[in-house]
Structure 1
């Protein structure tokens, strides 16, 4: 067991792996990470599946069977990805049981093509939930304008949700409102609120990438670079604590509801000049999740310094950072709009790559 990762876990941060492949499942790699690296969850996205299937011979047998059954590319992708996620849920079942459902979670995302389609998102969330058939599943839905009502409806149906692609504080406020509204409707629908879980994936490194680029173009003080992502996330946690301290939430909590934990996503450092553990160790606070690429996890295990709560004591500093960025000409709202749009576009591109890879595999199997 890595001492540094255990320290992170002991500080109240749930460590989730931001990756999944059939190789990880069949070789026992995922099970080993759960055993030795404090991993208690898994997140996936179209980019992860595209990479896994692009060089994954372990998918060939299932592809051949699906081709023989006459499956088209969309059904094949659905079957391949839900199979991996179902098996990952089984690997993490004991963690799920031991933590009362808080951890041991595996996420699968609705098609990025549905980012602006509320009804389509709701329908696919149900389809994925039923296909995987595991209580420790989370359905990933983007926190877009069309996504928020889908989040509410999905939670209202008793389905657990991972809200993804959250970049801005106003956007995050909408996501938390969608969560609470969903639980209120779930209670009205007769669901046991204790069984419905949710996390809110707040992206970190991409904020720095976009803002650093703008700072460089304006010739602003270089000391402001690499500070926005962490500051933004810290203020998100402050908003989380404030939102879930209301009488409205207390009424739901009394009925068994659980807060929607912040999940720090996009925690791999993009700028090699930055500390490769900064989006982990600088965001340590209890009741959060940090989903990491394995490279980032290994860096934390090797040299990450876990130094207690690195969020609550820094609220004023975070506000000052955003004020300094505004004074330097950074339009926060425009940054968030650009990142949200690009986030959807990147996942759509990865989804098309995934479809292309699987189509080629189907054609090869038919020869």
Structure 2
């Protein structure tokens, strides 16, 4: 059974323009993404041409300023676009989220001249971004990163290794966090690095249990030189920039999780309606109906939590705690819903003939990326206990 086109969701959107945007995304998903998703994931193919189409359609810069090629869309709308794309294929939804994350430092902390020079191509010029924070020895403890940037006149020389980089080896530009000062968070600075910079190389992509179409690789910086005018923000401000980006990025992951869970539910409902046992559709059995009802309720609750956090962000209010809650709840929901979807399909759910097993494998990574769910619980508890708590 091939993937099903994501079912349209009843939404309350702020403007007619937003409604048209979601209709466009749904149409692209139905025509361009869903029909080839299973085949391309199995073959491990990244849909670079599709990302060109998304760029041409204005979908790679939605939450950013139109003065630099963005879409001026509120985060509440942008997250619903991510959900729609992830429901069609997680490689695409997560790819757009990571690209947006890679643009965050320049859009939020770059100078006016830097934004004017680089953002238009990043947001609507067909480029693809990557975000380089994690390292082989510093994942959750990102403040202990070891990649160094040493000043050499008007340039910086970057040396070190970054790990778990989505779009590693194919990204056109990278936001890189590197150590320019002493130990700890205050010694980190952000840089915008071209993807083809001399001295930059990628290892072979990681062999993963899911998202095979999305390349994840280590990146090696062997004396990579970047001009000082590619430094983003002040020296030593990089970790604060990274945390700001991750708050927004966690909402992107939450929206993608809602999309994967929704796709799994659609698959389970369609199977239950068409499968007969003991002389009647299995959807008639109360136990299965209750399971589907619980799945649907978790998805709606996750979407509501995610969009509530987005509305706080759009209003300029603190949303870090709510972003952590949304990431935690939505990704745990995706894991549970995909497990239940496989159970609904029974033996067929365990085969690659149906997409349920792929959704299950993909859901797991969402509990890990951009801060594990254990880290999210630490963030939430820290907010509850006050800034002095550790």
Q: TM class by shorter-chain length?
A: under 0.3
The structure with the greater share of residues assigned to helix is 1
Report the TM-score, using the length of structure 2 for normalisation: 0.26
Larger RCO: Structure 1 or Structure 2 (Cα < 8 Å, ≥ 6 residues apart)?
1
